[in-house]
Amino acid sequence: MAKGITERAKDYSQWYIDVVKQADMAEHSPVKGCMVIKPTGYGIWEKIQQNLDRMFKETGHVNAYFPLLIPESFLKKEAEHVEGFAPECAVVTHGGGKKLEEPLVVRPTSETIIWDSYRNWISSYRDLPLLINQWANVLRWEMRTRLFLRTTEFLWQEGHTAHATHEEAEEEAYRMVQVYRRFAEEFLAMPVLVGRKTDKEKFAGALHTYCIEALMQDGKALQAGTSHHLGTNFAKAFDVQFQDRDSERKYVHATSWGVSTRLIGGMIMTHSDDSGLVIPPRLAPVPVVIVPIWRDDDQMALTLAKARHITEGWDKLFYKIDDRDQYKPGYKFNEWELKGIPIRIELGPRDVENNQVVAVRRDTGEKVTLSADGLRENLEKMLDDIQANLFQRAKDRTEASTHTVDSYDEYKERIKGGGFFRVFLNHADPKVEERLQGDTKSTIRCIPFDAPDEEGPCMITGAPCKGRVVAAQSY
Amino acid sequence: MAKGITERAKDYSQWYIDVVKQADMAEHSPVKGCMVIKPTGYGIWEKIQQNLDRMFKETGHVNAYFPLLIPESFLKKEAEHVEGFAPECAVVTHGGGKKLEEPLVVRPTSETIIWDSYRNWISSYRDLPLLINQWANVLRWEMRTRLFLRTTEFLWQEGHTAHATHEEAEEEAYRMVQVYRRFAEEFLAMPVLVGRKTDKEKFAGALHTYCIEALMQDGKALQAGTSHHLGTNFAKAFDVQFQDRDSERKYVHATSWGVSTRLIGGMIMTHSDDSGLVIPPRLAPVPVVIVPIWRDDDQMALTLAKARHITEGWDKLFYKIDDRDQYKPGYKFNEWELKGIPIRIELGPRDVENNQVVAVRRDTGEKVTLSADGLRENLEKMLDDIQANLFQRAKDRTEASTHTVDSYDEYKERIKGGGFFRVFLNHADPKVEERLQGDTKSTIRCIPFDAPDEEGPCMITGAPCKGRVVAAQSY
């Protein structure tokens, strides 16, 4: 347990706030609900961007940029969409010293402005598919905010694709939620449920929404990414048609999909502990920090020289030598632990003598003495091992916290303890979800793709249901 | 000369619009003054970002992110700053369905919101220097816009640094304008003047502003990047003090510096021609396109197989094989020429037979037959040569268009023909610049760092001046 960090067991919310603060990741800004992402936090976002962007490009997508401001009238063209987003919008009414003829909203998401452009970009089947992604900031006015998890302004990517057929759009929506799953597992080391949202929880304007859902350490679910099959809703709203191979004019089928800086919140709440942040190695801007230890100038010269010698030819993004003279080693150890650096290397005069270093793993706290020869390869193995261990630990925890329940009374009792609950619920009836939420503050998180073929009575109404859904309390 | 592109000599403005459109780089959006950056244009911005970001990191900077919205009162804390920016602001007056207590402006630049944060981040000399950069969108309400060159919303980076002394801030401001010069020369292949802005032209709130200025093909100057020494102006406005080594409390010294999507406009107007866009190889998302040529299915199989064989093991970002069957080779040649791809490779059945390809350089139109063996190395050499040739060509043009003039009458006549003019002007007297602008629509672009030690009479007032400035008409 570290100074300045409340124990998880004592107050989980405060623990989260403390970790973000002590690891120096972000802070609230003077503008209500907005955050400042500090360099330590932004460095992780850059790693998320780089890796996701590569995965998008490998699946054929290109990046573009659409305007921040959207005419209010655009938002109104898709009925469900405006209902979902209008209450959350920030509105620009004045520009260049004058009142605007039409108010402009700061984008809460970009379907409308993008489909207005697509109308001019698509005329033939030859123009399809159109596979575009945008990295951008968006604004949704929020009443209760939490750094990274829910903020009025956040950073995200939004993919917007156009297809000739329903089937191709469906494939794309499915492909992208699987890209998110793979990213969550392989980079965030965060196991996720993958499935479909109920109609009540789907995106405003979508046919259906796919999602990844992760379970945080306090037993609450976090929606970490969504991929929407929009059907022809936006094509109809913005009159986007194409001439198909058969010479007929048809409406274009759409998807959109996004993840945001919320992933950083998910990463924190999946792995961090009472000593501070824990960063999965594959998202660490610098995975290894070397702390030379000295008592006097001679030892300083000796250990620093050894640190520089060992790291000769190493990639600068792989390590950092902490050569600050104004801080003691203990202070530095604590700082790097708080900041979640995967491996800390301690290098004292005795280690120099023995041509060795002490490597300390952030995930387990384990200390290992390693030869200075072949160190780089051994550190890389250790980083792989940390990445795998973090994932396995989170997976074990998620599985241990996933319960199968059939009685609503049992559910109402056990939901208080948190976790994913595999239950029968008749979500075709919207009242069922309303009652669930009213009674238990929990919601259906998703209808998992891999739900076994089961039948049973809705735990609230008794109506027959096919397949269990997963319910949980959530962020 | 290409279809859909007006000749430069006929109508330079229309030529620029045509190149942007035909190369499919960007378009105007339904929101007045804002642009949509299409994938072809955004790909170049991504290359600019990657390379500049690396240069920033190599000079010790890290990235962070500050809020889009700034309380109106913040802007007013620095007197010159608010005067400069308030008339250009877009103002959010409503959020979440309610009128806001205090209006928020969409950032036109972020000094104020950042220095409000820095107050909490800086307390001791140990916290300095603070070297932070942000990649972001900004908004400045513009009446007359041109894609990339001047738009209401644009993408940019803004560096904001904090230092213990005037000297350190001065070094930083100078260092960063030199980073911009190097980026302009080495990546954009765009020669630039480097120097200081006159007091009239400096940034609102700066002690002084350094800049890079380039000369476009029509003889007009383009301000391509600026670096400001802000002194303690923002530290005083936001009360940012630190305890120095001598235990005294002192105000912090600041710099800020930025370049934007305007660089893409500069790139276009420096190199492109009557056949369309010309991209310097180091900024081309894909520098080589291979167009296999076929008349029937057998030839298609043959040339495509050869193209794939030749490129085995090549980096996917180095080349693209144009295997589209719905377009003829001539159409493809034209498209890649319009889009400015540095090297086009033609590969027909005869070439396959001879184990050769025909490489066509975009900069000169030169066709070279190359062996398919060792092709990658030869293409890399050719790309280096294209990059060097583009820079040299632009340098020669700029030098040929740089004139030394002493008489105002001569200046007034010759300025109509465009170019950089090395002249004596007494810019200590603000009326001199006003008169220059009123008479000739030209301005002092900069006081070059490398101006020779000369003395002479102001060409307007006759007052004695030290060193020549450079004047020009500009974008």
* Tens of pLDDT, residues A234-275: 999 999 999 999 999 999 999 999 999 999 999 999 999 999
Cβ–Cβ under 8 Å, residues B411 and B405: yes
Domain assignment of residue A5, yes or no: no
Q: What is the dihedral of CA B186, B189, B194, B199, to 10 degrees?
A: -120
Q: Whole-angstrom Cα distance, residue A90 to residue A72?
A: 11
Confidence of residue A85 (pLDDT cuts 50, 70, 90): confident
Question: For position B104, which CATH number holds?
Answer: 3.30.930.10
Residues A105 and A253 in one domain: yes
Chain A: closest CA distance from residue B256 (Å): 17
Q: Which domain holds residue A53?
A: 12-271
Residues A427 and A468 in one domain: yes
Domain assignment of residue A74, yes or no: yes
Residues A175 and A317 in one domain: no
Q: Of the candidates A36, A93, A120, which has its C-beta nearest B93's C-beta?
A: A93
Residue A360 has pLDDT above 80, yes or no: yes
Residues B248 and B328 in one domain: no
Task: Name every chain A residue with its beta carbon within 8 A of the beta carbon of B153.
Answer: 67-69
Q: Tell me the one-letter amino acid at A98.
A: K
**Lookup: tokens for B147:** 């894609």
Residue A97, φ and ψ in degrees, nearest 5: 85, 0
Residue B374 has pLDDT above 90, yes or no: yes
Confidence of residue A80 (pLDDT cuts 50, 70, 90): confident
Average pLDDT over residues A417-441: 96
Confidence of residue A1 (pLDDT cuts 50, 70, 90): low
Residue B85 has pLDDT above 70, yes or no: yes
Q: Which residues of A238-265 are buried (b: 16+ CB within 10 A; e: fewer)?
A: bebbbeeeeeeeeebbbbbbbbbbbbbb
* Mean pLDDT estimate for chain B: 96
Mutate to test the interface with A, among B37, B56, B68, B112 (most CBs of A within 10 A): B68
What is residue B84's predicted lDDT score, i.e. its pLDDT?
Answer: 84
What is residue B27's predicted lDDT score, i.e. its pLDDT?
Answer: 97
Domain assignment of residue A392, yes or no: no
Domain assignment of residue B124, yes or no: yes
Across the interface, whether the CB atoms of A67 and B95 are under 8 A apart is answered no
Across the interface, whether the CB atoms of B39 and A63 are under 8 A apart is answered yes
Domain assignment of residue A387, yes or no: no
CB–CB contacts below 8 A, A to B: 157
* Mean pLDDT estimate for chain A: 96
Residue of B nearest to A29 (CA): B67
Q: Whole-angstrom Cα distance, residue A381 to residue B282?
A: 35
Residues B262 and B294 in one domain: no
Task: Name every chain A residue with its beta carbon within 8 A of the beta carbon of B43.
Answer: 62-63
Residue B1 has pLDDT above 60, yes or no: no
Q: Whole-angstrom Cα distance, residue B402 to residue B437?
A: 19
Domain assignment of residue B276, yes or no: no
What is residue B322's predicted lDDT score, i.e. its pLDDT?
Answer: 97
**Lookup: tokens for A190:** 């965060």
Mutate to test the interface with A, among B65, B140, B161 (most CBs of A within 10 A): B65
Q: Which residues contact A459 (CB under 8 A, 6 or more apart)?
A: A405, A406, A407, A408, A411, A423, A424, A425
Q: How many CB atoms lie within 10 A of CB B345?
A: 25
Residues B380 and B410 in one domain: no
Residue B227 has pLDDT above 90, yes or no: yes
Residues A94 and A188 in one domain: yes
Confidence of residue B143 (pLDDT cuts 50, 70, 90): confident
Mutate to test the interface with B, among A27, A69, A134 (most CBs of B within 10 A): A69
Instruction: Give the HSE-up count for residue B453: Cα atoms under 13 Å, Cβ half-sphere.
Output: 0
Q: How many CB atoms lie within 10 A of CB B75?
A: 22
Question: For position B447, which CATH number holds?
Answer: 3.30.110.30
Domain assignment of residue B395, yes or no: no
Q: Whole-angstrom Cα distance, residue A231 to residue A253?
A: 5
Residue B89, φ and ψ in degrees, nearest 5: -85, 145
Domain count within chain B? 3
Confidence of residue B402 (pLDDT cuts 50, 70, 90): very high
Instruction: Look at residues B249, B271, B293 and tell me which one is the last residue of a structural domain.
Output: B271
Domain assignment of residue B304, yes or no: yes
Percent of chain A beyond pLDDT 90? 94
**Lookup: tokens for B456:** 């002479």
Across the interface, whether the CB atoms of A90 and B89 are under 8 A apart is answered no
pLDDT digits (tens, 9 = 90+) for A124-142: 999 999 999 999 999 999 8
Q: Of the candidates B39, B95, B152, which has its C-beta nearest A64's C-beta?
A: B39
**Lookup: tokens for A437:** 């939420």
Q: Of the candidates A120, A141, A153, which has its C-beta nearest B68's C-beta?
A: A153
Instruction: Give the HSE-up count for residue A184: Cα atoms under 13 Å, Cβ half-sphere.
Output: 30
**Lookup: tokens for A364:** 């387990």
Average pLDDT over residues B28-41: 95
Residues B448 and B346 in one domain: no
Q: Which residue has the tokens 């109508």?
A: B11
**Lookup: tokens for A20:** 């973000």
Chain A: closest CA distance from residue B63 (Å): 6
DSSP H helices, A362-415, are: 375-400, 408-414
Residues B17 and B72 in one domain: yes
What is residue B253's predicted lDDT score, i.e. its pLDDT?
Answer: 98
Q: Which residue has the tokens 């009685």?
A: A407
- Of B14-23, B75-84, B85-94, minimum mean pLDDT range: B75-84
Task: Name every chain B residue with its beta carbon within 8 A of the beta carbon of A152.
Answer: 95
Across the interface, whether the CB atoms of A141 and B95 are under 8 A apart is answered yes
Task: Name every chain A residue with its beta carbon within 8 A of the beta carbon of B93.
Answer: 91-94
Across the interface, whether the CB atoms of A36 and B67 are under 8 A apart is answered yes
Of A221, A246, A292, A258, whose CA–CA distance to A56 is shortest? A258
Instruction: Look at residues B331, B358, B385 and tell me which one is the last residue of a structural domain.
Output: B385
Instruction: Look at residues B222, B246, B271 and tell me which one is the last residue of a structural domain.
Output: B271
Question: For position B356, which CATH number holds?
Answer: 3.40.50.800
Residues A333 and A406 in one domain: no
Residues A256 and A308 in one domain: no
Q: Is A457 helix (H, G, I), strand (E, B) or coil?
A: strand
Average pLDDT over residues A157-162: 98
Average pLDDT over residues A56-64: 97
Residues A292 and A267 in one domain: no
Average pLDDT over residues B35-55: 98
ipTM of the complex as predicted = 0.96
Task: Name every chain B residue with its beta carbon within 8 A of the beta carbon of A43.
Answer: 62-63
Confidence of residue A3 (pLDDT cuts 50, 70, 90): confident
Q: Whole-angstrom Cα distance, residue A140 to residue A153?
A: 6
Across the interface, whether the CB atoms of A31 and B69 are under 8 A apart is answered yes
